[in-house]
């Protein structure tokens, strides 16, 4: 990874982007002007999907949630580059990638310092044909084998020491080849093996299944599916 400072802005990125990376890469309007936008998603803000030289990427701006998000929106207290959420997510994802785990490749990030605060963005490789489990289960059921594989995937991340700050079914992805991926490593950390945090992570995941099952009228999930997931996790 390379790091480049430009005034109050710091860019960090994969070596292969060294000749190309500019601040414009983190501006959705820029990619619209280049007619490179291939989609978008809306949550706390807009996530842009764009195409560059035949490859697809995801551009996400960091935004706060909760009550404090109504005041600061996208500002975070700056205590150094390595403490910023974008830099930490880049590094966690890069480490997981190096372990051979199914995560999207982090490509580039930026931090803009504004007095005591900073704003940040992150670009990652886009998973081709990605559908999260919410979208999948809103249309069809998964097989027992798929739930076993989901359980095994989560076990692999836990065995690597990865505590996922927001383990839910929006962040478990199935691609066009039915391969499973885990995404969104904001605030995630590596921890020493501990059954307590692992169980808490799994409990959080189950709550997300229950939440969507209650919210979506045609949601193809049942309690026995969770048991299959746990079987895969434990075996």
Q: How far apart are the first and last CA of the chain?
A: 36
CA angle 168, 73, 185 (to 5 degrees): 30
Q: Token digits for 60?
A: 């996400």
Residue 233 has phi, psi (to 5 degrees) of -65, -40
Residues designated as active site:
166
Q: Token digits for 10?
A: 């710091």
- Whole-angstrom Cα distance, residue 112 to residue 75? 10
Dihedral (CA of 85, 87, 88, 92) sign = positive
Contact 165, 178 (CB under 8 A): no
Helix/strand/coil for 16: helix
């Amino acid at each position: 990874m390379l790091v480049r400072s430009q005034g109050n802005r710091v860019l960090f990125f994969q070596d292969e982007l060294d000749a190309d990376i500019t601040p414009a890469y983190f501006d959705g309007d820029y990619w619209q002007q280049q007619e490179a936008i291939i989609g978008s998603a809306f949550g706390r803000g807009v996530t842009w999907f764009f195409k560059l030289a035949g490859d697809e990427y995801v551009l996400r701006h960091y935004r706060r949630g909760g009550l404090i998000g109504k005041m600061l929106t996208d500002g975070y207290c700056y205590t150094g580059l390595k403490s910023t959420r974008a830099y930490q997510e880049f590094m966690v994802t890069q480490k997981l990638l190096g372990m051979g785990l199914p995560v999207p490749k982090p490509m580039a990030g930026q931090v803009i310092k504004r007095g005591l605060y900073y704003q940040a963005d992150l670009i990652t490789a886009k998973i081709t044909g990605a559908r999260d489990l919410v979208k999948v289960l809103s249309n069809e059921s998964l097989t027992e084998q798929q739930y076993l594989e989901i359980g095994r995937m989560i076990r692999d991340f836990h065995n690597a020491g990865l505590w996922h700050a927001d383990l839910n079914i929006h962040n478990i992805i199935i691609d066009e080849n039915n391969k499973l991926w885990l995404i969104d490593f904001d605030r995630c950390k590596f921890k020493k093996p501990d059954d307590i945090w692992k169980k808490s992570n799994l409990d959080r995941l189950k709550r997300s299944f229950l939440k969507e099952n209650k919210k979506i009228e045609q949601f193809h999930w049942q309690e026995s599916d969770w048991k299959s997931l746990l079987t895969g996790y434990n075996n």
